[in-house]
Amino acid sequence: MTIAQSALDTLATLQIEVPSWAYGNSGTRFKVFTLPGGPRDPYEKIDDAAQVNAVTGLAPAVSLHIPWDIPENAATIKALASHYGLHFDAVNSNTFQDQPDQELSYKFGSLNHIDKAVRQQAIEHNIQVIKYGVELDSTALSVWLSDGSNFPGQLNMRGAFERTFDSLQQIYTALPDDWKMWVEYKPYEPNFYSTTIGDWGQSYLLSSKLGNKAQTLVDLGHHLQGANIEQIVALLLMEGKLAGFHFNDSKYGDDDLTVGSINPYQLFLIFNELVEGMDARGMNHATGIGWMIDASHNIKDPIEDLLQSVEAIKIAYAQALLVDQAALKHAQQNNDVVQAQEILQNAYRTDVRPLVAQARLLAGGALQPLALFRKLGVRNNLVKERGLKTVATGL
């Protein structure tokens, strides 16, 4: 079998998970723009997810953010999803915003809060999210905390970490046997001095102390500039602690831009570490980790943006599959720096778009998803059905 043939087979099996929050209105903290024909509830978000899956054939999983999208009637939402051939993957808790009916505020933290009652409220919310997830057949709880401090002296850092660990432990105990807990890190924003789970070391420390079911989630936008993300990925994978990804791209910070729009070479290098590392550990690429998009379309049509993101992931993955790993190893062992670079760049500079399109066809998708989406006038139909000005749940 040629490398291209085996890449084709593998490509068609990698499925991408799309978050429910990606379909609604978006913008920045300065301005949120209304999306014509935007989804008004979780059911319409599932309808939109079905559009992405129909044309890509490769995005059948949905990730719900709670309480933005509460599956009040799990049976109905599950039936709708399976009608479209979709299923639910990770469920996300939210203790970074105060909800209108909430008793205690998260202004000064949630799982790390100095007040036990606030921590308890946040713990119970996470356990509630697990319960929703169980009803939806999810198998992972994804936790991102904004907890931290805005000014030096505000927080005892060791105390904050210990309280967070204690809270996470209580949530961990509530996880069903076949579940995972994904611990996401982020260096800053909304806190600008310290974040309690601020980098991969802190997340790794927590997930190691928690146990086998806990792993570290890598959001590509959650690193300080210049960080070598592929190296972080390689080491987490080596330790069996890589939960998976929140894919997006960034130029400055947590910009949540379309995957591959700013630095596609970095994305390729990450995929190269993934392919090499997963093969070394005998892992199944498709099921070994979680493949999620966490981007914000900002000023684009969210469905079109997601189509671009899915394509970028597939391209980087295909290019990584084309890397001649045996030749690379040989070059590395001979300290042949030039040849090692040639091998990587040969793969990166290969136009794999026809291969990706063929894999998409094999998976039941369209040859040109974006062109088809436009030709079918999907957004216009959604505007007719839902109206020009809609209010969606979410950020």
Peptide bond preceding 190 in cis form (omega within 30 of 0) = yes
Could you tell me which of 161, 155, 150, 146 has the C-alpha nearest to residue 97?
146
Which residue's structure tokens are 């509460």? 70
Q: Which residue, 60 or 290, is less far from ligand RM4 as judged by CB? A: 290
Residue 192 per-residue DSSP state: S
Q: Which residue, 78 or 246, is less far from Mn ion as judged by CB? A: 246
Encoded one letter per residue, x for contact with ligand RM4 by CB under 6 A and - for no contact, window 258-297 reads ------------------------------------x---
Q: Which residue, 69 or 219, is less far from Mn ion as judged by CB? A: 219
Residue 75 per-residue DSSP state: H
Encoded one letter per residue, x for contact with ligand RM4 by CB under 6 A and - for no contact, window 130-169 reads --------------x-------------------------
Q: Is 78 near ligand RM4 (CB under 6 A)?
A: no
In whole angstroms, what is the distance from residue 41 CA to residue 392 CA? 6
In whole angstroms, what is the distance from residue 132 CA to residue 145 CA? 19
Q: Which residue, 185 or 373, is less far from ligand RM4 as judged by CB? A: 185
Q: What amino acid is encoded at 225 in this protein? A: Q
Q: Is 254 near ligand RM4 (CB under 6 A)?
A: yes
Q: What amino acid is encoded at 366 in this protein? A: A
**What's the Rg (C-alpha) of the chain?**
21
Could you tell me which of 218, 139, 208 has the C-alpha nearest to residue 180?
139
Q: Which residue, 121 or 142, is less far from Mn ion as judged by CB? A: 142
- For ligand RM4, the binding residue among 17, 44, 147, 184 (CB under 6 A) is 184
Q: What amino acid is encoded at 121 in this protein? A: Q
- For ligand RM4, the binding residue among 113, 186, 297, 314 (CB under 6 A) is 186
- For ligand RM4, the binding residue among 163, 246, 297, 386 (CB under 6 A) is 246
Map the footprint of Mn ion across residues 265-324, applying CB under 5 A: 294
Give me the least distance between CB of 342 and Mn ion, in Å please: 35
Rounded-to-10 torsion of CA 186, 88, 132, 116? -10
Contact 123, 131 (CB under 8 A): no
Q: Which residues bind ligand RM4 (CB under 6 A)?
A: 92, 144, 184, 186, 219, 246, 254, 294
Q: Which residues bind Mn ion (CB under 5 A)?
A: 219, 246, 254, 294
